[in-house]
Amino acid sequence: MNLGSTLGSESDPMFRVPTIKSARELESMRAAGRVVAEVIDRLKKVLEPGVTTGFLDMEARKVISSRNAEPSFLGYAPIPGAIPFPGVICTSLNEEIVHGIPGDRVIKDGDLVKLDVGAVVGGFHGDSAVTLIAGEGDAKKKELVDLTRRALEQGILAARVGARVGDISAAVEGLVRPRGYELVREYTGHGIGRRLHEAPQIPNVGVGGQGPQLRAGMVICIEPMVNVGTWRTEVLDDGWTVVTADGKLSAHFEHTLAITPDGPEVLTTL
Ligand code: MG
Ligand code: MG
């Protein structure tokens, strides 16, 4: 997810220059990533048709506070004056792509449920998202979810020291678009650290060999958002929820990973 990573903060040098994390800082980022993974693990266990998105938010809040962590998204405002995000997590259903606000909406059998979770430990953020199907989904939904998960895997494999951001984008795009699906353009992956959104932006479409070079100690979020129809998006009147412009389904997966000399290290995993 990127709560407004394409908005606003470009004037801040922290946003424009990728930060390199020390070994000690990476330890904090691993701890944050672990908390995020624990939250997602818990949400997978309790998700079923009939629960509300607000119930999932409460479950996430419990796990985060039990680990003495802080939620990354609650109160987040991408630019001064923006509506602060009111949830602990983002819950986006069906045609909603990202940034859905949890509340009293009841999840139905077959709903495509996108859960995006961020947590802070020792001043450092972790950020991860999954798409789940509540109850029984049809083959079309399963194919979309599976493709999006594989797109994230391909992106992670491309995240090597010396490679460029465009190599990640090209790996994601090369899997998804030849299969007739589209990728969201207006929202991207991002660097992460003391801030939820840092440089560089990680688009899901692009050309290999182009863009900022990946260096050891950088930590990034890769997050393909795959649409069945158009890549175009709209934002609902709540100021947050991003939906597909044509109302067709969308899926989203995200991991936080460190660039290391031994290859990508996924931090948001158990
Ligand atoms: Mg993100
Ligand atoms: Mg996210």
Question: What separation in Å is there between the alpha carbon of 37 and the centre of ligand 2?
Answer: 12
Task: Give yes or no for residue 268 having a pLDDT over 80.
Answer: yes
In a domain, 7, yes or no: no
Q: If pLDDT is split at 50, 70 and 90, which confidence band does 78 have?
A: confident
Task: Give yes or no for residue 68 having a pLDDT over 50.
Answer: yes
In a domain, 2, yes or no: no
Name every residue whose Cβ is closer than 8 Å to that of residue 164 and which is 6 or more positions away in sequence: 208, 209, 210, 211, 212, 213, 214
In a domain, 3, yes or no: no
Nearest to 176 by CA among 156, 200, 149, 158: 149
What pLDDT is stored for residue 162 in this prediction? 98
What pLDDT is stored for residue 79 in this prediction? 86
* Mean pLDDT for the stretch of residues 18-41: 97
Mean predicted lDDT score pLDDT of the chain: 95
Question: What separation in Å is there between the alpha carbon of 74 and the centre of ligand 2?
Answer: 13
Ligand that comes closest to the CA of residue 202: 1
Question: What separation in Å is there between the alpha carbon of 3 and the centre of ligand 1?
Answer: 7
Task: Give yes or no for residue 6 having a pLDDT over 90.
Answer: no
Question: What separation in Å is there between the alpha carbon of 116 and the centre of ligand 2?
Answer: 5
Question: What separation in Å is there between the alpha carbon of 251 and the centre of ligand 2?
Answer: 13
Give 87's strand partners: none
In a domain, 1, yes or no: no
What pLDDT is stored for residue 12 in this prediction? 57
Structural domain harbouring 32: 13-266
The domain that holds 152 is classified in CATH as 3.90.230.10
What pLDDT is stored for residue 16 in this prediction? 79
Q: Which residues of 236-257 are buried (b: 16+ CB within 10 A; e: fewer)?
A: eeeebbbbbeeeebbbbbbbbb
Question: What separation in Å is there between the alpha carbon of 118 and the centre of ligand 2?
Answer: 6
In a domain, 99, yes or no: yes
In a domain, 204, yes or no: yes
Ligand that comes closest to the CA of residue 197: 1
In a domain, 6, yes or no: no
Question: What separation in Å is there between the alpha carbon of 83 and the centre of ligand 1?
Answer: 18
Nearest to 107 by CA among 85, 87, 137: 137
Q: Which residues of 87-115 are buried (b: 16+ CB within 10 A; e: fewer)?
A: bbbbbbbbbbbbbbbbeeeebeeebbbbb
Q: For the chain, what is the domain count?
A: 1
Task: Give yes or no for residue 8 having a pLDDT over 90.
Answer: no
Nearest to 57 by CA among 83, 29, 85: 85
Structure confidence by residue, pLDDT tens digits, 204-229: 999 999 999 999 999 999 999 999 99
Ligand that comes closest to the CA of residue 118: 2
The tokens describing 131, both together, are 């798409």
Q: If pLDDT is split at 50, 70 and 90, which confidence band does 262 have?
A: very high
Ligand that comes closest to the CA of residue 190: 1
Ligand that comes closest to the CA of residue 36: 2
Question: What separation in Å is there between the alpha carbon of 220 and the centre of ligand 2?
Answer: 11
Q: pTM for the whole thing?
A: 0.95
In a domain, 4, yes or no: no
What pLDDT is stored for residue 15 in this prediction? 62
Structure confidence by residue, pLDDT tens digits, 144-200: 999 999 999 999 999 999 999 999 999 999 999 999 999 999 999 999 999 999 999
